[in-house]
Structure 1
Amino acid sequence: MPDRLNDSYYRATANAWETQLSLDSALDCDVVVIGGGFTGLSAALACAEKGLSVILVEAHNVGFGASGRNGGQLIPGLRWSMQEIDAEFGRERAQAIFGLAWSAGERVHDRIKKHNIDCDLKSGHLEAAYKPEHFNDMQREAEFLSREFGWESIKVVAPEDMGDHINGGDYHGGVYDPKGGHFHPLNYALGLAKAALRAGVRIYENTTAQAPTVKGTHVEMRAGTGSLSADHVILAADNWTSDLAQELGNFTVPIMNYNIATIPLSDADQLLPSDAAIADSRFVLNYFRLSADKRLIFGGGEKYVQQPPSDIAAFVRKHMAEVFPSLAQTPIDYAWGGAVGVTMNRLPHIGRKGNVFYAHGFSGHGALVTTLTGELMAEAVVGTMSRFDVFASLPHNRFPGGKWLSRPLATLGLLYYAMRDRL
């Protein structure tokens, strides 16, 4: 991946981290975790806290992938509304899904507090209605969450009150949840990694793992110039999952997202008075927030090919200028991008194959639920399956077309929904 895709504000303002050595020997442990993002780091830390010996290998550096490049938005729940989940799965399963997914924010807050992670954590998330009918849907969902599931923090914001949160975008109302928020995602990942090291996890960076092989009751694999043997393996590589298990890779396709960070803005508090993270309701959404030093971090547009735009800043700027015309000529200090693993139904794909556990396909909604998922896999490793099974039982289909056609076919479908935004 070209380095300019990682020329991020987060990388430039990352907390100190001592790069860990690559693996060059043969080691045994209870659990091998592959992937140094939120999911893998959370799983490794939770396993170590349960008294297991843990090795984590990362092909690049901790937080290299989506965990260190995302918009930093902490959005409660999943990509499906609770009305959709309730209608599809019935009340009993819906309550179990709600109990886990909507508690994910507490897990992140607990980790940040327990390990004293300096990651610019702020409260408040607003979903802004791009169309009047979207606002109607939001009002029904807010009322449903409160009445049926006791989620009373979410507040409906009338169109005339949107100025309390945002001055721009001509949105048709929205819903605000103080239990959502935003943070510096790379510093959160680094904080989890430091906590994992203190808990006894051995982390090896710049160490590419090969596909694991089950041999009896153990799993073996090559990694870096060494090898690993473990009782269990946790695959937490998201877009690189197909390199480790091709059959799992068929359940996701990568979508490229791009972000920019402006210079610090003198009028930042006028643009976003409540300092909430904001995402709009379009299928190809705009999402934005203020950094700790009052830059606007803005993500907008998607590309369905992995070749990045020749000018990432210009690609995203046009979306920013639609929301905030006054920023059309504002200098941009950082522009970066990366791939998001998306499933067909936009729910995370989580499960196990014997003593190999996996989680991927968070579909752009994983900044909170990844921490929870890592902890659920740690529970499953030691034999407590009930909460893990709530997510593992979610239905999934492979993208049609096999290795060569799945991405083009998925692109056609995504372009259709993107076109509907403009109608």
Structure 2
Amino acid sequence: MLLKKETRLTQDSYYEASVTRALPSPALAHRITADVCVVGAGFSGLSAALELAARGYSVALLEAKMVGWGASGRNGGQALVGFAGEDAIESQFSVADARCAWNTTVDGLQLLRQRIATHAIDCDFVPGYMSLAVGARKARALDAWVDHVARTYDYPIQKIAAAELKNCIASERFHGGAYDAGSGHLHPLKYCLGLAAAARAAGVQIFENSPVIDVERGGDGRGKKPVVKTAQGEVACSFVVLAGNVYLNEYGKTVAPELGQRIMPVGTYIIATEPMAKQRADLLLRQRAAVCDTNFILDYFRLTADHRMLFGGRVSYTTATPMNLAASMRQRMLAVFPQLADLAVQHAWGGFIDITMNRAPDFGRLGHNIYYMQGFSGHGLVLSGMAGKLVAETIAGQAERFDLLSRIQHHSFPGGPLMRTPALVLGTLYYRLKDLF
């Protein structure tokens, strides 16, 4: 169901229009063996494959479409520390363990920068991120959050007073802000394709157009190993890494049905304007930082390397693409930057992210030799890459950091597949109303 809707949404992606892909890797067409089979060629799957190959494991990676076809190649490009479900983690963990979890994302940002440098990935990385508050009440809440992060995690974020905002952004919409010099933004598809090239160079076998239809699980205590099956081939392996997120059970109901109950696909949408003069772009965002507001239904935006405004926001919990997508997203952009009314929207696209009930990541095992990472909840560019490293560490015998995050408790969405979407839509209406005040 998701795939038909997604195909239409990918057709006008600025990211796809601004890269030149290599010829696709061949589909899996026979039986092969590998130490590890990774399912999904997004950030987390590619990261796991790259890390495992560096540790000497033979790795086969199966991708249903193309490398970076899902959220990894279509997201807002914001590389941020922290979690979307920070409150859930703090409520379940001790202060020390919550800090360890937070530091995992700080390490993830360092890992991202390291990989860009080590593998010479040209992905337009720019440091700097601003969180901005719409309204005085939300500005006070943002200030309190900055204090909390400094006190609890010893992570430096700079407060931006209302009077100082004019030196940061050419918009009258915001009443306060916070600046994180460590986070930043990049071209996510360029980064994803760069990871794939690095993985291939390390010896990873990548098979595109190879959707997984079944995973025969091993772990019966008698030496039986997993077998991952596609329509035309299969991979016999010792370990499986499931990194397909919302697409994992699109092709085969027997892949991991228990995981699908714990996440929900949510549509998010982005536009890109035509290019503008560099001087004009620089005046909009003085430091060219990435930006999110603090609303529940948030807007996020940044400038691209070729001086376009890339503006994202709006969500769909029904998996239906909003009508008049480009026009409605343009109106959201003009509410922030009315001075961009003369610019045409050249690209409008979207895709599905995976969210959990509490917005915290969902990592774990199925048996002793099948690992999964999902539930990044819109905060995954940094964390998904780190997740791949953590699962590689675990397979290699060092499970401490993976096990910490796998302790986060999750609940299935209520009502099953038929009722969870209407229930979530009704719940979201409450937060839409809160955003107005």
Bin of the TM-score, shorter chain as denominator length: over 0.9
Q: Which moved more, 1:124-133 or 1:135-144?
A: 135-144
Q: Secondary structure at the match of 1:110?
A: helix
2:324 match: 311
Q: Secondary structure at the match of 2:165?
A: helix
CA–CA separation in structure 1 for the residues paired with 2:370 and 2:124:
35
Contact 2:121/2:194 (8 A) holds in 1? yes
Whether 2:119 is the aligned partner of 1:115: answer yes
Contact 1:17/1:190 (8 A) holds in 2? no
State percent identity of aligned pairs.
38
Whether 2:259 is the aligned partner of 1:240: answer no
Q: Give the 3 Å change call, closer, same or farther, for CA 404–80 of structure 1 in structure 2.
A: closer
CA–CA separation in structure 1 for the residues paired with 2:180 and 2:25:
38
Matches within 5 A, 1:122-271: 122-152=126-156, 154-215=157-218, 216=220, 217-243=224-250, 244-266=255-277, 267-271=280-284
CA–CA separation in structure 2 for the residues paired with 1:169 and 1:17:
44
Q: Which moved more, 1:12-21 or 1:273-282?
A: 12-21
| Among 5, 8, 11, the residue aligned to 2:9 | 5
Which sections of structure 1, spanning at least 5 residues, go unmatched? none
| Among 95, 98, 101, the residue aligned to 1:94 | 98
Cα deviations across residues 33-80 of structure 1 (Å, max 9, x unaligned)? 000100100011111111000000100000000000000011111114
Supply the RMSD in Å over aligned alpha carbons: 1.5
Matched to 2:141, the amino acid is: D
Please report how far the alpha carbon of residue 17 of structure 1 lies from its aligned counterpart in structure 2 after TM superposition.
2.4
Matched to 2:225, the amino acid is: H
CA–CA separation in structure 2 for the residues paired with 1:311 and 1:43:
38
Contact 2:281/2:308 (8 A) holds in 1? yes
Cα deviations across residues 244-280 of structure 1 (Å, max 9, x unaligned)? 3111001111111110000112321111111000000
Please report how far the alpha carbon of residue 197 of structure 1 lies from its aligned counterpart in structure 2 after TM superposition.
0.1
2:285 match: 272
Q: Give the 3 Å change call, closer, same or farther, for CA 19–169 of structure 1 in structure 2.
A: farther
What TM-score results when the alignment is normalised by the length of structure 1? 0.96
Please report how far the alpha carbon of residue 329 of structure 1 lies from its aligned counterpart in structure 2 after TM superposition.
4.3
Whether 2:436 is the aligned partner of 1:422: answer yes
Contact 1:242/1:250 (8 A) holds in 2? no
Contact 2:89/2:408 (8 A) holds in 1? no
Whether 2:298 is the aligned partner of 1:293: answer no
What TM-score results when the alignment is normalised by the length of structure 2? 0.93
Q: Secondary structure at the match of 2:217?
A: strand
Q: Secondary structure at the match of 2:155?
A: coil
Please report how far the alpha carbon of residue 134 of structure 1 lies from its aligned counterpart in structure 2 after TM superposition.
2.0
Contact 1:22/1:224 (8 A) holds in 2? no
1:334 match: 347
CA–CA separation in structure 2 for the residues paired with 1:87 and 1:343:
16
Please report how far the alpha carbon of residue 88 of structure 1 lies from its aligned counterpart in structure 2 after TM superposition.
4.3
Please report how far the alpha carbon of residue 22 of structure 1 lies from its aligned counterpart in structure 2 after TM superposition.
0.6
Matched to 2:418, the amino acid is: W
CA–CA separation in structure 1 for the residues paired with 2:27 and 2:169:
46
Q: Which moved more, 1:254-263 or 1:265-274?
A: 265-274
CA–CA separation in structure 2 for the residues paired with 1:219 and 1:299:
40
Which sections of structure 2, spanning at least 5 residues, go unmatched? none
